[in-house]
Structure 1
Amino acid sequence: MIIDTHLHLIYRDRLTYPWLKSEPALDADFTYERYSREARRLGISSVLHMEVDVAVTDISAETQMVQNLSREESSLLRGVIAACRPEDPGFAAYLEMQRANPFVKGFRRVLHVVPDDVSEGALFRENIKRLSGTGLTFDLCMLPHQIDKAKALLDLAPDVTFILDHCGVPDIKGHGYASWKTGISEIAKRDNVRVKISGIPAYGDLDNWTLEDLKPYFEHTIGTFGFNRAIWGSDWPVCTLGGGLSTWVATTQALLHGCTVEEKEKLFSKNAKRIWQLD
């Protein structure tokens, strides 16, 4: 069975998504019902919702919406990685509020959509250190040229588990393997980071990517992090741009050809269960 650690849901009638205007292919409703129908056919048994960069005023409403969906009969939803703004003075109070909710498993602040110096601010870094001792994870969604900033955050809070999204967002279409490879190797040296095998079809040629295009990125990621530190995510509905959920599951299975059953189980479920204490 598969635990999907990276599902995005979009309900435009309930929440505001400012970035959708610049992404017409995703400017639509992507509902839990639509996702779960396909997910159940693929053996996906549990899901974590990943924040979708909603308007700041909707951050708490997004978490509440997903939690309400999780209460429906036979829901696959087991928790959320909530949005946050560590650069804001109100983060400390927000953190304490979310800590009281066991449905919240961690946080994410997408850093490649803001100026590079946001993560270098004193308040941002102070607030990242506040995660120490909470058991909450922090997802890093950054571009290859921001690797040094990622390393700085990892070193700030060595007891916090950080999750590197989408294999570090490589530029597969632009053949950016060399510069990406070096950064991934450096980040993998930190014991407090895990890597998410997710999203990479969206970084290739959306219409013409092949298994061979993705192999070097997958193999280097697993080669540096190992199966004990890797988890799987769909990045739905972004994955629909490069073939869809079923295609990505099948592609992952193909990339895992020759791996042991134990290695596959770690990637697809065991590691996620351990990190987020999922049933």
Structure 2
Amino acid sequence: MIIDTHLHLIDRSALRYPWLAGVPALNRDFSYEEYATEAKRAGVERVLHMEVDVDPADIEAETARVEGLSRQAGSMLSGTIASCRPEDADFAVYLERQRTNPFVKGFRRVLHVVPDDLSEGALFRDNIKRLGGTGLTFDLVVLPHQIPKAIALAELAPDVQFVLDHCGVPDIKGGAEHPWREHMSEIARRPNVMAKISGVVAYADAANWTVDTLRPYVEHTINSFGWDRVVWGSDWPVCTLGGGLSTWVAATHALLSGCSVSERDRLLSGNARKLWRLK
């Protein structure tokens, strides 16, 4: 069984995505139906939606839309990681509204597209601390040079469970392992951080990557965090930039070919089920 912890859905008729104008390859609709057809063939059985950095005014509408899709017969959608703005004064009120909705499993604020000092603000940090004891996770999406900023948040809020997306977004196309490698080893020392093995094909050379191209990055992430602190995600449709969902699933199985059944099961489904209390 595969639980995909990182699905993006894009519906430009219903929501606004300011960033899409700068990424022509993704500037179209990506529907649940399109994803589900391929995902079921690839062995995915359940999925968490990941916020898509919609216009701030559309944040709660995005959650409502995805929750509506989850109610359709046969839907694989089991929850959402919702967008948030911890830098805003009304975050506490927003958090209380979301806590009443069991479909919301956690939050994410995209940090690699904002100034580095955003996460260092007193209000941002106080609001991240509010997640402690709620059972709601916080996904971290940062570039390699920003991982120390993520470490600072993890240390500031030891009662919050963080999830580092996309193996720390390494520059696989450029073959760069430093300082990414050292930063990954360091952040993994924080017990309240898990890593997401998700969509790294998007960071490789789309025309030339092989499983061995990805291996140093995926294996270092798993070795750093251990098999109990990793989850899997597709990052669809971003993964289409490097070959697509089925290609990424196939590469994942190849990367796990020497692992035990227990290790494989923990990465592909068991850890996600436990972390987000998926039945």
SS of structure 2 residue aligned to 1:177:
coil
Q: Percent identity over the alignment?
A: 67
Give the equivalent residue in structure 1 for 2:271.
271
Does residue 228 (structure 1) correspond to residue 245 (structure 2)? The answer is no
Give the equivalent residue in structure 1 for 2:115.
115
C-alpha displacement of 1:199: 1.8
Matches within 5 A, 1:192-207: 192-207=192-207
The ranges of structure 1 where at least 4 consecutive aligned residues each deviate by more than 2 angstroms after the TM superposition are none
C-alpha displacement of 1:43: 1.4
Residues 121-156 of structure 1, C-alpha deviations (whole Å, 9 max, x = no match) = 000000000001100000000011112111110011
C-alpha displacement of 1:157: 1.2
Counterpart amino acid of residue 93 in structure 2: A
Query: What is the rounded CA distance, in whole Å, between the counterparts of 1:119 and 1:176 in structure 2?
Result: 25
Residues 65-105 of structure 1, C-alpha deviations (whole Å, 9 max, x = no match) = 00000000010000000000000001000000000000000
Query: What is the rounded CA distance, in whole Å, between the counterparts of 2:172 and 2:44 in structure 1?
Result: 27
Give the equivalent residue in structure 1 for 2:8.
8
C-alpha displacement of 1:210: 1.3
Query: What is the rounded CA distance, in whole Å, between the counterparts of 1:156 and 1:253 in structure 2?
Result: 36
Q: Report the TM-score when normalising by structure 2.
A: 0.99
C-alpha displacement of 1:184: 0.1
Matches within 5 A, 1:54-65: 54-65=54-65
C-alpha displacement of 1:178: 2.3
Matches within 5 A, 1:3-42: 3-42=3-42
C-alpha displacement of 1:160: 1.1
5+ residue gaps, structure 2, are none
Query: What is the rounded CA distance, in whole Å, between the counterparts of 2:262 and 2:20 in structure 1?
Result: 39
Give the equivalent residue in structure 2 for 1:104.
104
Query: What is the rounded CA distance, in whole Å, between the counterparts of 1:57 and 1:22 in structure 2?
Result: 20
Does residue 180 (structure 1) correspond to residue 160 (structure 2)? The answer is no
SS of structure 2 residue aligned to 1:89:
coil
SS of structure 2 residue aligned to 1:28:
coil
Matches within 5 A, 1:69-148: 69-148=69-148
Query: What is the rounded CA distance, in whole Å, between the counterparts of 2:33 and 2:147 in structure 1?
Result: 37
SS of structure 2 residue aligned to 1:178:
coil
Counterpart amino acid of residue 193 in structure 1: V
Query: What is the rounded CA distance, in whole Å, between the counterparts of 1:145 and 1:222 in structure 2?
Result: 20
Q: Report the TM-score when normalising by structure 1.
A: 0.99
Give the equivalent residue in structure 2 for 1:243.
243
Give the equivalent residue in structure 2 for 1:162.
162
RMSD: 0.6
Query: What is the rounded CA distance, in whole Å, between the counterparts of 1:208 and 1:17 in structure 2?
Result: 30
Higher deviation after alignment, 170-179 or 233-242: 170-179
Query: What is the rounded CA distance, in whole Å, between the counterparts of 1:210 and 1:7 in structure 2?
Result: 23
Query: What is the rounded CA distance, in whole Å, between the counterparts of 2:157 and 2:229 in structure 1?
Result: 18
Give the equivalent residue in structure 1 for 2:43.
43
Higher deviation after alignment, 236-245 or 202-211: 202-211
5+ residue gaps, structure 1, are none
SS of structure 1 residue aligned to 2:85:
coil
Counterpart amino acid of residue 243 in structure 1: G
Give the equivalent residue in structure 2 for 1:190.
190
Counterpart amino acid of residue 90 in structure 2: G
